[in-house]
Amino acid sequence: MKRLAPLAVLLLVGCSAMMPSGPAGPKKYLPDTADAKALKAGDNPVAFLEGTWVEEETKKPTQRVYTFEPDGKFTFVIDGKKIGGQATLSGETIALDYKTIGDESLSAFLEKAKKAEESGRQGAIVDAMVVDFLTKDLDRRRELSFSEDFKSVFFGRPTPPSTSGEGMMEALEAMKSSGPTLVRAKAVE
């Protein structure tokens, strides 16, 4: 037995060096516009969204992403909270219906967060930040429109250019100022 003890220690040390040091953290993403495909005539706009999207202005790797399934189900991750919903075609835009946070309905989460904030519970600050976002910013994120190149989407409705041709630049600026633009994303280490 004494002869095998050094071998057992060597095996244990060698194996532990090859094992990962713990679970990998959540993926982070950056914009990936290099080979972005464009929506083509006849494509299903909701199915086209399949994949992961980030805000165009993202400069540092982020976990704040939208991930769409081909059937329109989506998840939006903000401050570690997963907000789930359903995307549907609504005329010229795609409507986003936010339904859940984690395993709870939005209304149940908001009620619980309000009670936690009143009680001073630890963690209520993060919940309060999410509630603040939900009540102020989420309404701006309920409708997606395709950009001019049909490669990205932005929150808001497209503003049609005037028929006289005047005001086209103003219309394009209004489209851009509607809300953040989402572009396809790539995972980074």
Q: What are the pLDDT tens digits along the chain (189 aa)?
A: 455 444 333 333 344 344 444 445 578 999 998 888 999 999 999 999 999 999 999 999 999 999 999 999 999 998 788 999 999 999 889 999 999 988 999 889 888 877 877 777 666 676 777 777 777 778 889 999 999 999 999 999 886 655 555 555 555 555 444 689 999 999 997
pLDDT of residue 12: 37
**Contact call for residues 24 and 153 (beta carbons, < 8 A):** no
- What pLDDT digit, counting tens, does each position of 72-96 carry? 999 999 878 899 999 999 988 999 9
pLDDT of residue 83: 92
Q: What share of the chain is helix, strand, coil (3-state, %, to 5)?
A: 30, 30, 40
Rounded to two decimals, the pTM is: 0.73
Q: Give the single-character DSSP code of 139.
A: G
- Distant-in-sequence, close-in-space partners of 109: CB < 8 Å, separation ≥ 6: 100, 101, 102
pLDDT of residue 160: 62
What is the rounded end-to-end Cα distance, in angstroms, of the chain?
45
Boundaries of every domain in the chain: 25-188
pLDDT of residue 18: 42
Any idea which residue has 């950056």 for tokens?
30
Residue 67 and residue 84: Cα distance in Å, rounded? 10
